[in-house]
Amino acid sequence: MDDQGEVTRREFLKTAGAATAVVVLPRFSEGESQPAAVSPNSRLNYGIIGTGTEGCTLLRAFTRVPGAHCVATSDIYPPNQKKGIETAGSNPQLYEDYRQLLDRKDIDAVLIATPLNLHASMLLDTLSAGKHVFIEKTMFFKEEEEAPIRKAVAAHPGQIVQVGLQRRSDALYQYAMEMIRAGALGKVMFVRAQWHRNSDWRRPVPDAKFERLINWRMYREYSGGLMAELASHQIDVANWAIGAEPVSVVGTGGIDYWKDGRETCDNAQTIFEYPGGQKLLWSSILCNARYDFNEQIMGDRGTIEITLGKGLFYTEHVAKVSQGASKENWWAGATVTEAAEQQGLPLFPETVPAHEGFVAREQRYAREWLIRHGYKTIPANDAWFEELTNFVASVRDGKPVACGLDQGIADARAVIYGNRAIDTGKKVFWPKTTG
């Protein structure tokens, strides 16, 4: 990201209040390890626990971040042990028992990308071992894990904790949030989000003895199912756009299509309500992928439809909704405004090729329209690379984390309460006194 991008982002984080402050003065309990000091010029040694699908995605991104070096991996499934070592490409030491990885004094930071039921204990162990932590979403599995996590993070203020909700690091999402804060959508009242697939959501199992280890998402002992794996990203987007966490949720769902022995829902639908009456309507199905996945953020002046790598901005025809509204209430009279009402303006105009084709020209018009209306344009980025770059900057320079404790906790709570609403068929309210 260039300098201008940095300033924009910093300013945005300030206005949005989305960053978790990083306290740099460490305090330690007796007998606990201290985080290794990482000077700006020295390399940051890290280990990773869980080198399955997401672990390897993180490794591929982290190997491109200057100054970060993978010295150790931990996994318990031999094919993924091999994949992790190969993906790291730095000849890391493999540990079957992650606690041996945590015992290494030369490791500054640890990435955790294991099944959800292991997150809290691994996070707590990593903090106790004096390491900075990057923990995959969903941050934790059970409601009762929140308090010990809060306590441990408070007891280790010199250690960074970043949560792997990578949309927080995506330039397109940051830009969308900037537009929302600047009033582009007017009053945001509704978010509709869906994650639809047409597949059984299973992974191939070479031997039945590995079924639960590989398909842990199917079993309630390890997983919060669709809510934890898919909704978690989109709840975080809604929380970010609305600037609050929900106060209640109703839901339904079931195992209605893939009756194959799974324990977690194959479809789920929830409505989260926020303090100002805003709603997040979320659905996931595994039998139709026509509307695959995105979030539609709706205000009384416009809509942003967004997912990783693609965003559209639609304006509302204000005169239609406001009795007696004058033409001044319209956003602009140009044809491009009509396009913004009908087809949406792309939010990620990139470099226009020399021989401009139709799409490039449309993008240029859109960019010009956005610039005229005070919105800057941004280059596309790689959210995984950015979140890990940010993690290194937080460890080294105290830069605010891209997604911290409060966002991670708000997200995990919503996942837990959403599942509870589905399981009980009752409206679930957030506890009155939440931190």
Ligand X SMILES: NC(=O)c1ccc[n+]([C@@H]2O[C@H](COP(=O)([O-])OP(=O)(O)OC[C@H]3O[C@@H](n4cnc5c(N)ncnc54)[C@H](O)[C@@H]3O)[C@@H](O)[C@H]2O)c1
CA separation for the pair 113, 120 (Å, rounded): 12
**258 vs 293 by CB, closer to ligand X:** 293
Rounded to the nearest 10°, the torsion over CA 360, 361, 366, 370 is 90
Rounded to whole angstroms, how far apart are CA atoms 8 and 5? 5
Shortest distance, CB of residue 284 to ligand X, whole angstroms?
14
Give least dist CB 101 to ligand X, A.
Answer: 9
For ligand X, the closer CB: 92 or 164: 164
Comparison of 50 and 299: residue with beta carbon closer to ligand X: 50
Check if the beta carbon of residue 88 is closer than 8 Å to that of residue 59.
yes
Both tokens assigned to 248: 């209640």
Select the residue whose beta carbon is closest to ligand X and give its number. 52
Which pair of tokens denotes residue 197? 């697939």
State in angstroms the smallest separation of the CB of 386 from ligand X.
Answer: 13
Q: Smallest gap, in angstroms, from Cβ of residue 113 to ligand X?
A: 5
Interface residues with ligand X (CB under 6 A)? 49-55, 74-77, 80, 98, 113-116, 118, 136-137, 164, 166, 213, 229
Cβ closer to ligand X: 136 or 316?
136
The smaller minimum CB distance to ligand X, of residues 77 and 258, is found at 77
Would you say 137 or 192 has its CB closer to ligand X? 137
In the complex, what is the shortest distance from the CB of residue 52 to ligand X, in angstroms, rounded to a whole number? 2
Buried b (16+ CB within 10 A) or exposed e, 65-92: beebebbbbbbeeeebbebbbebbeeeb
* Closest CB 257 distance from ligand X, rounded Å: 22
**Rounded to the nearest whole angstrom, what is the least distance from the CB of residue 253 to ligand X in the complex?**
18
Instruction: Give 80-92 as a DSSP string.
Output: HHHHHHHHH-S-P
The residue among 8 and 381 lying less far from ligand X, judged by its C-beta, is 381
DSSP helix, strand, coil percent of the chain (3-state; round to 5): 40, 20, 40
Separation between Cα atoms, residue 134 and residue 118, nearest integer Å: 14
Question: In sequence order, what are the residues at sequence separation of 6 or more whose Cβ sits closer than 8 angstroms to the Cβ of residue 60?
Answer: 87, 384
